[in-house]
Structure 1
């Protein structure tokens, strides 16, 4: 089979986010391959959960999760949109296959350790090949980065204080990633251009969220992508990010679940620990969430940027965070099929495609409101 007429590959297409990416690829008129480890799951996902799939130009391909098989599938394609996590565990084969096949790579990760690994081990190799390596292209990270980039249009600001909130429940894959990552990896913020570890026992933080009187509960959420993306930005020295869901009982339960999982898996080897943590994650969330409802699944991205003599604040209100992720991924594919990215090698979505461009895509599909900016200089 030749991939030359199907330039986009969605790896993990049967999952919740993978289906949404396929939906937006169809809306953008892009041909794609829906790939994954199970032909039956892919068939069911496309037929039952991707509206209008009968009008899409796509193929379904079952593929083994190893570098050789993935390389063979990726050859002839232009970009791979990867949704298979936890990425620190399942991502290396996909990245290596993209490099071998000459494909751009994006994913939806929120695993800070995975971003640091990609930056340090693969960034220069992708840049040398003229390829983009863009992890974390997703609502929880990119929409907040758009707000941060809008703030940084005001010169002299060097500190970013970012809050990311959304309504609804995480997917099965997100729950597994959150639990495994929180229990096994350190979380860092950026302080004077150096990674500084969040205190692991700090517990929940109380945050004032724009647009509501009630305080919200937040966590460092693994450190997020932003400190890694901005580490080499000459304008920025400090980045802290806190995030969470509006559901307080769920937020109250997260630290307890992680603490219990850590205690239960203490002393286990890596493989046994991963299996035990995955089982715990399945006990928390083992069914696909319903399709997002914009009246329920709201999002708020708030960034306070400051410097010695200036301040800026940007808020972006939106809805349907997983749909935002699906569209961001599809937009990236559309861009890469028509022109080179603004930056090759390791780059965030905004660095690769431009924050105004990504914001325009989200606005054009009705997923975010116009940003609310306040500047004091």
Structure 2
């Protein structure tokens, strides 16, 4: 299909990427008609046509320029935009502006804390005024960890979150670009409801639930959790460590961060951009293989504490990119049928409910039942 005579309710923008394809696969599971869009129509069509069973759902393929005018025209008449075209701090603004102008809910898959903060400050009130949802970061990193955190917070009186997010696998091309893009940003944790800046070269040696071997973790751009919990009256403190389980990969991340601080940060903005793009391209220029649940697993661990209580919640999962595809598709599916729990800037859990999202991940076999330990 390649016409748009009948407007489809969901637009997947950036559909040529690894995650975009997975969103399309799960939209097919929910029988949601969609438009697959990107700057190269032939590539989009090639990706979509390879999705098994794609002929069982209505869809269109559209080539579109990355401009506010072109994207607004594309989004006009749609209800939900799923944006996977990152890094979002570089390319997301036009898509958000266009979704707002077209009156569509906006979802994306970002792991960039600075982009999430920018969305909240720049467009949150405008989306709320229109009764629309602005939910950046509807993705395994970091929605699954947010689900675990909210399970811990079901016990009143806990105000401090210590979160660990780890997964096994290798980043996609887009994720690799994001990893190197966030090196330029300041990273924050939450302390007594105030943002505090991480030292850029901070690292952690962490115990991984379910295994004896430790792992290396980093603040990972600060993550989205401090932003989501910034105005949550239950929470005062949030710190997050994250990464991949392969020690060699994380050793490379640590070394690159140190090199960036010493050699690249002193450069001007253009010099930083060129240097980081070259490094990112040398690390991952192609698309990784499709996830295997026997190999690609994830761990989201949350230790919550308060003056008189403690809780530890662990969510073991698999196929983190599939988790992202499902979360995006379910969010779109839900928005087509009912209003979100919160409009304006909101996380996936705030918009759809953490137990509901957990149920979706469970129903598709992507996470185990949470392991919960409480002391009081």
Q: TM-score range by the shorter chain?
A: over 0.9
TM-score between both structures, scaled by the size of structure 1 = 0.97
SS of the residue corresponding to residue 293 of structure 2 reads coil
Partner Cα separation in structure 2 for residue 56 and residue 261 of structure 1 = 46
Deviation for aligned residue 1:215 = 1.1
1:190 matched residue in structure 2: 190
Kept in 1: contact 2:169–2:244 (CA 8 A): yes
Match of 1:44 among 26, 33, 46: 46
Query: In the alignment, which residue of structure 1 is the partner of 2:285?
Result: 286
Conserved in 2, the CA contact under 8 Å of 1:4 and 1:76? no
CA displacement at 1:245 relative to structure 2: 0.9
Stretch deviating more after TM superposition (59-68 or 262-271): 262-271
Whether the 8 Å CA contact 2:201–2:257 is kept in 1: the answer is: no
SS in 2 for 1:338: coil
Distance 1:269 1:124 in 2: 33
Task: State the partner residue of 2:232.
Answer: 233
Give the match's secondary structure for 1:311.
strand
Contact 2:4–2:60 (8 Å) recurs in 1: no
The answer to whether the 8 Å contact 1:3/1:76 transfers is no
- SS of 1:313's equivalent in the other structure is strand
Q: Extract unaligned runs of 5+ from structure 2.
A: none
CA distance in 1, matches of 2:152, 2:189: 19
Equivalent residue, structure 2, for 1:215: 214
Native 8 Å contact 2:200 2:257 kept in 1: no
2:366 equivalent in structure 1: 367
Which residue of the partner structure matches residue 33 of structure 2?
31
Cross-structure match for 1:10? 12
- Per-residue CA distance 1:23-58 (angstroms, 9 max, x = gap): 00001100000000001110111123x222222211
Deviations 1:113-170 (A, max 9, x none): 0111111111111000110000001112000000000010000000000000100100
CA contact (8 A) 1:3 1:73 kept: no
CA contact (8 A) 1:81 1:106 kept: yes
Displacement of 1:112? 0.4
- The answer to whether the aligner puts 1:299 opposite 2:301 as a matched pair is no
Corresponding residue number in structure 1 for 2:124 = 123
- The Cα shift of 1:263 comes to 4.7
For 1:251-304, what per-residue CA distance to the aligned partner results, in whole angstroms no more than 9, with x for missing partners? 001121233345554454434432331221010001100000001100010000
Q: CA RMSD in A?
A: 1.3
Aligned residues: 374
Q: Do the aligned residues in 2 keep the contact of 1:25 with 1:330 (CA within 8 Å)?
A: yes
Show the counterpart of 1:275. Answer: 274
Give a deviation string over 1:194-251, Cα, whole Å, max 9, x none: 000111132x210111111111110000000000000000000000000111100010
Cα distance in 2 for partners of 1:245, 1:142 equals 16
- Give the conservation status (yes or no) of the 8 Å contact 2:189–2:238: yes
Structure-1 residue corresponding to 2:98 = 97
